[in-house]
């Protein structure tokens, strides 16, 4: 259960890959996407994102993202 008393799952996907340019989100090779994992809440996803982003700080084209899967699964949910 979360701090607000809401026990609904709010799944988040963390993934990344190397971009073709720094101006757009276009991946260089979709076969090489790094699917870090699916997390039950934003805090867990953020911790995973920070860890992967820190590991790739020397590659400016490497980017990691957090996708709010719960918003895709239930668009009516805020």
pLDDT of residue 5: 59
pLDDT digits (tens, 9 = 90+) for 5-53: 567 789 999 999 999 999 999 999 999 999 999 999 999 999 999 999 9
Three-class DSSP labels, the chain: CCCCCCCCCCCEEEEEEEECCCCCCCECCHHHCEEEEEECCHHHHHHHHHHHHHHCCCCCCEEEEEEEHHHHHCCCCC
Q: Which of 48, 56, 59 is nearest to 14 (CA)?
A: 48
pLDDT of residue 62: 96
Under 8 Å between Cβ of 43 and 75: no
Q: Model pTM? A: 0.82
């Amino acid at each position: 259960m979360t701090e607000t008393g809401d026990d609904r799952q709010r799944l988040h996907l963390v993934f990344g890959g190397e971009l073709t340019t720094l101006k757009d989100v276009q991946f260089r090779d979709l076969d090489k996407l790094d699917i870090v994992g699916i997390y039950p809440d934003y805090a867990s996803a953020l911790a995973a994102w920070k860890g992967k982003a820190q590991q790739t700080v020397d590659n400016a084209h490497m980017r990691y993202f957090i996708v709010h899967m719960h918003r895709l699964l239930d668009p009516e949910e805020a």
